[in-house]
């Protein structure tokens, strides 16, 4: 019989549907981490330690909560006897916390986020299977970085978003394939994590900056963007149409915000594909010229996390912009180059995409 070395995995419990029970009118997170863990079969050769960080529904998470998760993971990995970390998390904002962890993770030991689409007390729920798969992945996926494990699939934190409100297979990267699968007690071989410069942890007493998201749509004007600036936003994410487009009025408002020291990023409301500077007339060409940073394939929630992380990392406006470009740059450069090549097939083809 093959000997299997014992692996130690720390589970950081934060609430969400995986910890939820019926409250009479709806579900709410209430179960502590040890109770969540007891719902799942622990893989052979894995020892688990539980950290009860907090127990809340994920729509209620604040930046302070998310930074607490990052610090808890770093504290767990400070123990050389720990082989990996699992974070149980509500699905609504899991993609945000996962990406924040990814931006601050610089360790070969994996960090795996998972949750559930059905509550803990559902007889046919998915909590047990997802947690088992996350524990197995955390014990075996050394070098794979920060991951999201859900419904038997393994995804990279960067780019992975919630794509269905209630289905079991709720997560994917709309612009790329999953990294691998979990099943029959095994994790498929995973590629090594792409190495990027990792951000240092912000001081525990650091003020959390306001970062708002504004969406462009037909008939939209910059009123809400300007209101966010007036309300004290230090960062903004403009969710454009198409490849990252808005109007000349938005471009002018972005330029004013940037001159006022606000860090502005541009993403798109389209599910898949990169933000690319193809169009003027208020398009991504003009938004970038106004000082906004184009965020490649990052969608709104993760683009906001990138802006937040850059603000926490630097005090000076120009340096913040450089940091943000570095956080989104690798994904933007690769995807953007491909899209620009497609756009270069001719103005007529580009016009059909608008």
- HSE-CB at 141 with a 13 A cutoff on CA atoms is 35
Q: Angle CA(280)–CA(284)–CA(286) in degrees, nearest 5?
A: 50
| Residue from 14, 17, 88, 114 carrying the catalytic annotation | 17
DSSP alpha helix (H) spans, 194-299: 223-230, 248-259, 284-289
Q: Got the DSSP string for 261-277? A: T-EEEEEESSSSS----
Question: Does the CA dihedral 253-259-262-268 come out positive or negative?
Answer: positive
Coil, helix or strand at residue 309: helix
Pairwise CA distance, residues 25 & 9, whole Å: 35
CB-neighbour burial class of residue 127 (10 A; exposed 0-12, middle 13-18, buried 19+):
buried
Active site residue 88: no
DSSP assignment, residue 245?
A: B
Active site (catalytic) residues: 17
């Amino acid at each position: 019989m093959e000997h299997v070395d014992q692996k130690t995995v720390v589970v950081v419990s934060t609430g969400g549907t995986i910890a939820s029970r019926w409250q009479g009118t709806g579900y709410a997170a209430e179960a502590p981490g040890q109770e969540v863990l007891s719902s799942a079969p622990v893989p052979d050769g894995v020892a688990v330690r539980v950290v009860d960080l907090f127990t809340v529904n994920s729509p209620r998470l604040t930046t302070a909560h998310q930074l607490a998760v990052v610090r808890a993971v770093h504290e767990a990995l400070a123990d050389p006897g720990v082989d990996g970390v699992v974070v149980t998390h509500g699905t609504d904002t899991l993609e945000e916390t996962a990406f924040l962890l990814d931006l601050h993770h610089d360790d070969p030991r994996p960090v795996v986020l998972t949750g559930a689409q059905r509550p803990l007390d559902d007889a046919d729920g998915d909590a047990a299977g997802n947690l088992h798969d996350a524990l197995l992945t955390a014990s075996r996926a050394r070098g794979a970085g920060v991951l999201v494990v859900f419904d038997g699939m393994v995804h990279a934190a960067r780019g992975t978003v919630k794509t269905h409100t209630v289905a079991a297979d709720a997560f994917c990267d709309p612009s790329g394939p999953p990294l691998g699968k979990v099943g029959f007690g095994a994790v498929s071989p995973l590629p090594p994590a792409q190495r990027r410069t990792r951000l240092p942890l912000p001081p525990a007493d650091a003020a959390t900056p306001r970062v708002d998201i504004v969406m462009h749509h037909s008939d939209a004007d910059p009123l809400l963007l300007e209101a966010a600036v007036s309300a004290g936003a230090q960062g903004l994410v403009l969710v454009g149409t198409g490849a990252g487009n808005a109007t000349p009025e938005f471009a002018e408002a972005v330029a004013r915000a940037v001159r006022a020291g606000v860090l502005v990023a541009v993403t798109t409301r389209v599910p898949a594909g990169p933000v690319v500077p193809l169009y003027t007339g208020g398009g991504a060409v003009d938004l970038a010229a106004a000082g906004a940073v184009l965020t490649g394939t990052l969608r709104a929630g993760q683009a906001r996390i990138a802006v937040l992380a850059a603000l926490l990392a630097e005090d000076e406006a120009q340096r913040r912009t450089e940091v943000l470009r570095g956080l989104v740059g690798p994904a933007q450069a690769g995807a953007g180059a491909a899209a620009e090549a497609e756009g270069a097939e001719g103005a007529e083809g580009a016009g059909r995409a608008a």
